[in-house]
């Protein structure tokens, strides 16, 4: 998804303005003219300047016929579009359900689902998903003592 | 000094450290050889694993893996016409055309040997230059550090990027992200929106996993089904004929390594740019430039030496000043900070054995490259067939667990996901992500040296030029800016992507 530079510039200007606005209530150093707000304000100002140049550049590109938004060719293919969206959605699902359900079942289900979606045969997908989940659990939770969520397997492990 | 060197040998030649390096080497070879997985991504994936190790094995793993990955990128370039990492892109067509002519053995052999020797060349410069520079750097005050960081950031945006304006925006975004959390001078929480976890700032490693791995996966996932064709050809003796190559092209080797070392040491420009520039220089200086682009070895010798020497040279500014030479060393600096080993000249005094250990590991890694690279070439036909539809989901899960392990909470995964999508959007729109990481790493040093200098100079900007080295660096930085502003910033259309 390629947007015209003018849109990127506008987003930059809005975001930097919000950033500078948030610095307004930062305190100063006692006895100094400047404090924690100085550096973010300099950055914000520089970003606004860059945003302005991007808008000028984008508008002249627009006049030359560059569209506001150009979608990559794969977005026309529903299956590839779904593959693309699936990644962030699955991570989001993991964020939401891993605590109550636990790492092992969620990770296994996620891998299995993705393998099959990308066309791996079930006979291959099930053992590979199981082994990959187990190796990762073993390395991080057992060896490195990372408290991966246990969830429903709390009493078993 | 000899004490420290002996101690360093003891640290490195520990069975555990050697085992870690060997495993990292195999990992680096695999990631580098898989198209779509880059050396930076190899580092990003390694960090959660090395996080729990002592400094020497942790750094050793990263050094070995990156050195291997940069070479391994040459293998699919020659066999499939797809560079394994961006650092091999400059001469992918050239080596593929060589393979088409039946010269696959020679192309791979030259890539392997000149990668290793080029890497050793870069390491030699690192070993000579870093301690000398550190001696000078000991006298630096906040003014010098401010200008060094400024110069580094300037190089990162202007020299390295095809569109300097967008590179600069990326950098500012990185610096802005670095301001989140408790500010370094006054201790006031900034942009935390009342969140306790954001007080410590945006955790660096989950951010980096997002920017380099998740955004890469998002790009890769739409082409999962379209693997390239592996050129079916028997790999024979890759070392045959290299003697005459050396006699004919040793000047190219030295020129390529020298350019690679120089560019690697420049902050912000890494192995990929080193390869492009040395290839171009090689063509310009060649007696037979018409042969370039038809499967000619000469340019490959330059470029493959250059990208590996750049890997080592990037550590010069990283170790001496704490200013990363490329995105890999940016990650390394983040790791060093977490291990309370703040890079800078004082490490050379306080922990010289660690610095020598890094040197030894670099030499070792480039020597190990020959046997391990040879094995990788022999196994390439099988490795390159690793189904991406199995690999991508596993990498995704690994990213999730790795990001979680860094904060021991969902917060890490949230950062990873947000910055992953953000990084993907940036790259899609021509904003490079490398400068974002540089900005995030340098943000604190840059702001702190700026604020300290402001207070010392009592707000007078002339104070920033009052010391000789600071003044020189400052003038240099400003001159670069003036030059680029007049020449580049108002250009309407960016040059073609390099």
With 0-12 CB in 10 A as exposed, 13-18 as middle and 19+ as buried, what is A65? exposed
B450 interface with A at CB cutoff 8 Å: yes
CB contact under 8 A, B405 and A2: no
More reliable by pLDDT, A67 or A95: A95
In this predicted structure, what is the pLDDT of residue A103? Answer: 93
Kindly tell me if the per-residue pLDDT of B495 is higher than 50. no
CB contact under 8 A, A50 and B429: no
Q: Which two tokens stand for residue A78?
A: 């529903």
From the candidates B27, B174, B400, which should be mutated to test the interface with A, based on the most A CB atoms within 10 A?
A: B400
Max Cα-Cα span within chain B: 70
Confidence category of residue A1, pLDDT binned at 50, 70, 90: confident
Q: What residues of chain B, 204 to 233, have a C-beta less than 8 Å from chain A?
A: 214, 217-218, 221-225
Whether complex ipTM tops 0.90: yes
Contacts of A47 in chain B (CB under 8 A): 169, 172-173, 176
Judge contact between B82 and B76, C-beta under 8 A: yes
Token pair 């912000």 is found at B268
CB contact under 8 A, A8 and B185: no
| String of DSSP letters for B394-405 | HHHHHHHHHHHH
Average pLDDT over residues B267-271: 79
Half-sphere exposure of B326 (CA within 13 A, CB side): 27
With a pLDDT cut of 70, the percent of chain B lying above it is 95
- Using alpha carbons, list the distances in angstroms from residue B351 to B5, B319, B341, B358: 11, 12, 9, 12
Q: Which residues of B279-297 are buried (b: 16+ CB within 10 A; e: fewer)?
A: bbbbbeebeeeeebeebbb
Question: What predicted TM-score, i.e. pTM, was given to this entire model?
Answer: 0.85
In this predicted structure, what is the pLDDT of residue B228? Answer: 58
Kindly tell me if the per-residue pLDDT of B226 is higher than 70. no
In whole angstroms, what is the distance from residue B233 CA to residue B210 CA? Answer: 37
More reliable by pLDDT, B481 or B399: B399
Kindly tell me if the per-residue pLDDT of B275 is higher than 60. yes
Max Cα-Cα span within chain A: 72
The per-residue pLDDT for range B315-349, each reduced to its tens digit, is 999 888 888 888 888 888 888 887 777 788 888 88
Q: How far apart are the first and last CA of chain A?
A: 45
**Mean pLDDT rounded to a whole number for chain B:** 86
The per-residue pLDDT for range B439-489, each reduced to its tens digit, is 888 888 888 888 888 888 877 778 788 888 888 888 888 888 888 777 655
Q: Which residues pair with B182 in a beta bridge?
A: B189
Contacts of B214 in chain A (CB under 8 A): 87, 91
Number of DSSP helices (H) and strands (E) in chain A, helices first: 5, 2
The per-residue pLDDT for range B376-397, each reduced to its tens digit, is 988 887 778 778 888 889 999 9
Confidence category of residue B496, pLDDT binned at 50, 70, 90: very low
In whole angstroms, what is the distance from residue B412 CA to residue B203 CA? Answer: 7
In this predicted structure, what is the pLDDT of residue B492? Answer: 45
CB contact under 8 A, A95 and B224: no
Residue of A nearest to B414 (CA): A95
Kindly tell me if the per-residue pLDDT of B494 is higher than 60. no
In this predicted structure, what is the pLDDT of residue B491? Answer: 54
Q: Which two tokens stand for residue B195?
A: 């969140």
In whole angstroms, what is the distance from residue A141 CA to residue A137 CA? Answer: 5
Nearest-5° angle of CA B229, CA B304, CA B71? 60
- Using alpha carbons, list the distances in angstroms from residue B297 to B40, B93, B114, B166, B370: 27, 11, 12, 35, 19
In whole angstroms, what is the distance from residue B464 CA to residue B474 CA? Answer: 8
B387 interface with A at CB cutoff 8 Å: yes
Q: Which two tokens stand for residue B145?
A: 């550090």
Looking at the partner chain, which of A27, A107, A146 has a beta carbon nearest the beta carbon of B408? A146
Looking at the partner chain, which of B218, B400, B454 has a beta carbon nearest the beta carbon of A84? B218
Confidence category of residue B271, pLDDT binned at 50, 70, 90: confident
Nearest-5° angle of CA B57, CA B22, CA B370? 125
Judge contact between B35 and B85, C-beta under 8 A: no
Task: Give the gap in angstroms from C-alpha A139 to the nearest C-alpha of chain B.
Answer: 9
């Amino acid at each position: 998804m390629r947007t015209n530079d003018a849109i990127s510039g506008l987003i930059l200007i809005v975001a930097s303005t919000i950033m500078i606005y948030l610095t307004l209530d930062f305190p100063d150093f006692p006895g100094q003219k400047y404090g924690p707000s100085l550096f973010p304000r300099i950055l914000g100002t520089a970003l606004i300047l860059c945003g302005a140049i991007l808008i000028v550049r984008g508008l002249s590109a627009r006049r030359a016929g560059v569209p506001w938004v150009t979608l990559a060719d794969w977005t026309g293919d529903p299956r590839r579009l779904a593959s693309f969206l699936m990644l962030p959605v699955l991570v989001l699902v993991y964020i939401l359900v891993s605590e109550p359900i636990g790492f092992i079942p969620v990770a296994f289900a996620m891998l299995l689902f993705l393998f099959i979606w990308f066309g791996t045969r079930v006979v291959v997908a099930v053992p590979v998903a199981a082994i990959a989940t187990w190796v990762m659990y073993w390395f991080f939770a057992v060896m490195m003592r990372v408290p991966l969520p246990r969830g429903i397997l709390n009493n078993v492990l | 000094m000899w004490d420290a060197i002996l101690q360093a040998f003891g640290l490195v030649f520990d069975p555990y450290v050697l085992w870690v390096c060997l495993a990292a080497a195999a990992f680096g070879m695999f990631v580098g050889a898989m198209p779509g997985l880059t050396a930076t991504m190899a580092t990003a994936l390694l960090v959660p694993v090395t996080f729990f190790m002592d400094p020497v094995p942790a750094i050793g793993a990263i050094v070995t893996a990156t050195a291997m990955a940069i070479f391994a990128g040459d293998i699919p370039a020659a066999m499939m016409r797809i560079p394994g990492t961006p650092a091999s892109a400059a001469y992918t067509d050239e080596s593929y055309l060589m393979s088409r002519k039946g010269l696959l053995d020679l192309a791979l052999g030259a890539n392997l040997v000149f990668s290793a020797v080029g890497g050793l060349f870069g390491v030699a410069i690192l070993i000579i230059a870093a301690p000398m520079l550190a001696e000078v750097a000991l006298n630096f005050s906040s003014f010098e550090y401010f200008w060094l960081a400024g110069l580094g950031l300037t190089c990162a945006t202007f020299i390295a990027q095809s569109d300097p304006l967008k590179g600069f925006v990326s950098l500012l975004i990185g610096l802005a992200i670095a301001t989140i959390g408790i500010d370094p001078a006054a201790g006031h929480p900034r942009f935390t929106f009342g969140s306790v976890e954001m007080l410590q700032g945006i955790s660096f490693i989950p951010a980096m996993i997002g920017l380099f791995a998740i955004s890469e996966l998002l790009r890769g996932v739409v082409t999962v089904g379209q693997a390239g064709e592996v050129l079916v050809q028997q790999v024979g003796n890759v070392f045959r004929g290299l003697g005459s190559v050396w006699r004919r092209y040793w000047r190219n080797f030295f020129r390529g390594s020298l350019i690679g070392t120089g560019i690697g040491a420049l902050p912000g420009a890494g192995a990929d740019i080193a390869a492009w520039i040395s290839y171009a220089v090689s063509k310009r200086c060649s007696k037979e430039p018409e042969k370039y682009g038809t499967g000619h070895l000469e340019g490959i010798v330059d470029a493959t030496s250059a990208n590996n020497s750049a890997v080592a040279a990037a550590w010069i500014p990283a170790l001496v000043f704490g200013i990363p030479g490329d995105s890999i060393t940016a990650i390394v600096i983040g790791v060093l900070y977490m291990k309370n080993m703040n890079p800078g000249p004082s490490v050379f005094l306080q922990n010289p054995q660690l610095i020598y250990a890094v040197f030894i590991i670099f030499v070792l890694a480039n020597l190990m490259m020959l046997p391990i690279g040879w094995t990788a070439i022999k196994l390439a036909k099988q490795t390159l067939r690793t189904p991406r539809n199995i690999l991508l989901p596993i990498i995704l899960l690994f990213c999730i667990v790795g990001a979680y392990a860094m904060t021991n909470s969902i917060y890490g995964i949230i950062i990873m996901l947000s910055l992953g999508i953000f990084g993907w959007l940036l790259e899609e729109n021509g904003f490079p992500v490398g400068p974002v990481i540089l900005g995030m790493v340098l943000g604190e040093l840059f702001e702190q040296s700026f604020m300290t200098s402001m207070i010392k100079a009592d707000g007078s900007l002339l104070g920033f030029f009052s010391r000789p080295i600071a003044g020189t660096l400052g003038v240099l930085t400003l001159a670069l800016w003036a030059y680029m502003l007049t020449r580049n910033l108002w250009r309407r259309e960016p040059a073609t992507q390099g």
